Structure 1
Amino acid sequence: MIMRIPGVFVIVLIFCSGCHPVGPNYQPPSPDLPASWHNSLPSDKTGAGEKKVERTDWWMLFDDPLLTGLIQKACNDNLSVKEAVFKLQEARAQRGIGQANLHPTLDASYGSTVSRSYGETGGGNENKLFRAGLDAGWEIDLFGGNRKTVEKLTANLDASEENLNDARISIAAEVALNYIDVRVGQERLAVAMENLAIQEETWELNQARYQAGLSDELSVYQASYNLEGTRARIPALNVSLEASLNRMAVLTGNYPGSLHEKLATTSPIPILPESIAIGIPSDTVRARPDIRVAERNLAARTAAVGEATADRYPKLTLSGSLGLSSLTFGNLFDLDNRNYSYGPHISIPIFNAGAIRKNIAVQTAVQEQALVQYETAVLNAIEEVENAVKAYEKENERFLILTKATSAARQAAKLSQKKYESGLIDFSVVLDSQRSLLTFQDQMVESRGDVAANLVRLYKAMGGGSVFMENMNQSDAHQ
């Protein structure tokens, strides 16, 4: 038997296929950005470079294979990254649920019932009924509510991808910063040990001079407290180094202590590139994943307004069933026992005490919040880059000054030691020169580390490495 769908249903379906979703259409924001940076580097005065930072795997510029390997490991094995991967998978599944709601549903069913009726005499007949059938349903997305839901879930999925990208960029920067801390800690420890050896020789010299009657006991005590003061610095340096090593292990998804052997060999603080291209503000806005997250959140909140608006309009559902029923199982599949039903179901909101209207107002307010959050993300990004540029530039200047000061202090320490041994100056001059040498050497090492760390922060502020991370994320997107 051929079932004919009434013409009115055909008209409804044609009408539905041409309906446009209600609610606002999303337009990506276009922030009014400055054409160039307020702060710039001497190597990039035009604000543009041959190689845009977002396409630079900046950690490669340090030319340190061990650092590169640690960053790549952390980008795969860090627990925060793994959590972001699972959140991405969750968002993808959520979108799949939303897309499924755009399609018809079909369910199969089978059942049997037994009934008995009792009369006044206490007797009765037992009746059995067997049923089997198919039930179909389809909510026609008349005013685009379900399509807006899919649009919202798609934007949420995009935001999850950018969150994963952001997590990897942040972890890469944190690994680099801790690696720099490790190398700075090792070098500061080496400086302290070097000065300790010099001061031990000075103390032994003063002991010998005192015993020979060439100097007084005061110089021995002065050499002693200078020596012990330097020795007292070493435990604190070891504690700081241990913390950096343990943090590095955790960042790469390992237990504390697992990287001690790998990082035991002292290496120089990562070498800096000769020039840096910081691009222009619009490059940063395009590159930073946190800004793209904010933009995708705005898109999702805009779609949610349309989703809420669709609740004001009628909902049309087409349903139908085809079944078989029989008093005996053997006759269940006899075509004479078939039955069917079909028809539309229309639901029209009439009174809900303003709940739908208020929900639209709620979603609109949330959309406005998302816009403000996007604008805040852009402003914060520009601020971070400006601050990072200035910090890198000025710390580099400070490092050059400390390098000169350290060189002068080293010469002063050598000359004062010679003059003291010749009896031309008091021992207090030697003490001052040795303390100054240790101070300047230590500050120079810290400053060199700060220059490297500020460069890492600058690259992170500009969204550096985002293209590398996006390529890395593609494998996660298909898991």
Structure 2
Amino acid sequence: MTLQLPGFPTQRAACGRLAAAALTGILAVALSGCATRAPGNPALPQTPVPAAWSSLTSPPPVPQAATSLALWWQRFNDAQLTALVTQALQANTDIRSAQAALQQARALRDVKSAGLGPNVGTSASAQRSKTGSNATINSFQAGFDASWEPDVFGGKRSALNAAEGDALAAEASLGSTQVSLAAEVAVTYMDLRGLQTRLSIAQSNLATQAETLQITRWRSQAGLASSLDVEQAIAASEQTSALIPSLQTSIALDLSSLAVLSGQTPGVLRDTLGTSVAVPQAAENLALAFPADTLRQRPDVRAAEHRISAAWARVSQADAARYPSFQISGSLGLSALTLGSLTSGAPVARALLASISVPLFDGGALRAQVRAQEAGLEQARVAYQASVLTALKDVEDALVALQNNRERLVHLQAAASAAFNADLLARQRYSSGLIDFTSVLETQRTLLATQDSAQSTRASLSADHVRLYKALGGGWTPEAETASRRAPRTTPYAPE
């Protein structure tokens, strides 16, 4: 139902306009008592968080600030890695898409903000008409129109809060994309350097096996070795040769992936990254933050938190739609038969209109809309809990992998050193005829396997550092989020 207060032309007394305005205010105040508004800020769901990481045998040192991990890739002291990550954060298509989504969310927020104020417009028209044999009549009009819908029950303000939450969530989502991209580039780079070193190891072992094969052939020709030894040496050499094309394929795939991740065409990095270098190792002086601090610097957890605020605001917006809405509009204009008289002495037409719209019967649609938004709020709360648990799991998994791979690398390095000495001794004794070829073959296989495993673990160890930095929320810096714009947290994390 819509109730309208009639317009007030210039001939009406000023008291009539004041009475209409007063009536509108009285209705707004009277009906505002019927509204049931939600509390000022939504409480985050209770999510148990441990006081310390279970994978650490000792308490962590003083926690670092979130910004200390914003450029974690510089900790590897590798200029090419830094250049790749920087290029990817600027040119990657996922980053550009997330930036466009953030701009869209901020523009939609500005649209909601503009809706809180009045709308003012201007218009002008010229008309020339003739009926039958009557004289031609000209008509010129110019004026201003204004309208305003008072936000009595907070529906528009809630819509603005929802848009603000969406904008902050989009900003955090951009940060999450940056974190994931930087980690993916770094992990691929570690894998590339590991593969290149493994290729060098395979080629070096192949050269050694080729020398052994030549010696075996000489001994066979001299009657000091059997043809079985020669065939076994050939088989070992060919097996090692078969590893090389596989490693070269994996290297080419990593180069293509790095090019695409950094917004370039495949193949452009072959000259830049084609030379084999050692896998960069991270510094061991990382000060782990406590679990609750880690959650606060994770962009995906922040995005989930902002989505709760946006969902709660939509509940308030849906609830406000159940109550009356008001609108005040007016116009001021000039009308004349000639263009010259429009600006000199033309009569002024004024009008004021106040209206109220009250929903009477909608079959329960408005209440159903409230329930729908409440269900959306519950989904956002559950998604927040899931993001917190995922964040805790990511850090714990990264710590376990880092610790175990570090220990594994120590043993593999010792094994590789012993295998190298054993291979050297075996080849010397075989050349002297002190041992058979089976011992040489076994030591060469062991040497290749241990060196390859050690190098693969070294690359995995660097990748574990990258995953830990990612799990801790490193690799992004909030652009515009401030304490005044963020909804205060109400018991966001409950330590166990």
* Normalised TM-score (structure 1): 0.91
Residues 139-185 of structure 1 deviation map (CA, whole Å, 9 limit, x = unaligned): 11111111111111111111111111111111111111011011001
- Answering whether residue 59 of structure 2 is matched by residue 46 of structure 1, we say yes
- In the alignment, which residue of structure 1 is the partner of 2:416? 406
- Structure 2 SS opposite 1:470: coil
CA contact (8 A) 2:168 2:481 kept: no
- Answering whether residue 92 of structure 2 is matched by residue 78 of structure 1, we say yes
CA contact (8 A) 1:26 1:303 kept: no
- In the alignment, which residue of structure 1 is the partner of 2:490? none
CA contact (8 A) 1:52 1:277 kept: no
In structure 2, the CA distance between the partners of 1:147 and 1:16, relative to structure 1 (3 Å rule), is farther
Q: CA deviation at 1:47?
A: 3.0
Amino acid at match of 1:293: A
Which one of the candidate residues 6, 14, 18 is aligned to 1:6? 18
Any residues of structure 2 matched to 1:369-448 within 5 Å, and which? 369-448=379-458
Which one of the candidate residues 347, 364, 369 is aligned to 1:337? 347
- In the alignment, which residue of structure 2 is the partner of 1:55? 68
Q: CA deviation at 1:15?
A: 8.8
Which protein has greater RCO, CA pairs closer than 8 Å, 6+ apart?
2
Any residues of structure 2 matched to 1:261-410 within 5 Å, and which? 261-410=271-420
- Answering whether residue 161 of structure 2 is matched by residue 161 of structure 1, we say no
CA contact (8 A) 1:184 1:445 kept: yes
- In the alignment, which residue of structure 2 is the partner of 1:220? 230
CA contact (8 A) 1:139 1:316 kept: yes
Residues 341-384 of structure 1 deviation map (CA, whole Å, 9 limit, x = unaligned): 01211111111111111100100110011000001110111111
- In the alignment, which residue of structure 2 is the partner of 1:240? 250
Q: How far apart, in 2, do the equivalents of 1:112 and 1:53 lie? A: 64
- Structure 1 SS opposite 2:48: coil
- Structure 1 SS opposite 2:60: coil
Q: How far apart, in 2, do the equivalents of 1:190 and 1:228 lie? A: 16
- In the alignment, which residue of structure 1 is the partner of 2:493? none
CA contact (8 A) 1:53 1:278 kept: no
- Structure 2 SS opposite 1:283: helix
Q: How far apart, in 1, do the equivalents of 2:123 and 2:36 lie? A: 35
- In the alignment, which residue of structure 2 is the partner of 1:477? none
Residues 418-438 of structure 1 deviation map (CA, whole Å, 9 limit, x = unaligned): 121121221111111101110
In structure 2, the CA distance between the partners of 1:314 and 1:145, relative to structure 1 (3 Å rule), is same
Identity %: 37
Q: How far apart, in 1, do the equivalents of 2:109 and 2:443 lie? A: 69
Residues 359-413 of structure 1 deviation map (CA, whole Å, 9 limit, x = unaligned): 0010011001100000111011111111111111111111111111111111111
Gaps of 5+ in 1: 475-479
In structure 2, the CA distance between the partners of 1:32 and 1:216, relative to structure 1 (3 Å rule), is closer
Residues 14-55 of structure 1 deviation map (CA, whole Å, 9 limit, x = unaligned): 996997993343234153321111211x5xx20344535652
CA contact (8 A) 1:156 1:296 kept: yes
CA contact (8 A) 2:144 2:333 kept: yes
Q: CA deviation at 1:334?
A: 3.9
- Structure 1 SS opposite 2:193: helix
Which one of the candidate residues 470, 475, 478 is aligned to 2:478? 470
Residues 230-277 of structure 1 deviation map (CA, whole Å, 9 limit, x = unaligned): 011100100000111111111111111111211123221112312332
CA contact (8 A) 2:61 2:287 kept: yes
Q: CA deviation at 1:338?
A: 1.8
- Answering whether residue 127 of structure 2 is matched by residue 113 of structure 1, we say yes
CA contact (8 A) 1:162 1:289 kept: yes
Any residues of structure 2 matched to 1:81-160 within 5 Å, and which? 81-118=95-132, 123=133, 126-160=136-170
Amino acid at match of 2:420: R
Computed over aligned residues only, the root mean square deviation of the Cα atoms, in angstroms, reads 2.4
Q: How far apart, in 2, do the equivalents of 1:219 and 1:155 lie? A: 74
Q: How far apart, in 2, do the equivalents of 1:377 and 1:448 lie? A: 30
Q: How far apart, in 2, do the equivalents of 1:140 and 1:8 lie? A: 15
- Structure 2 SS opposite 1:344: strand
Q: How far apart, in 1, do the equivalents of 2:104 and 2:255 lie? A: 34
Give the aligned length. 465
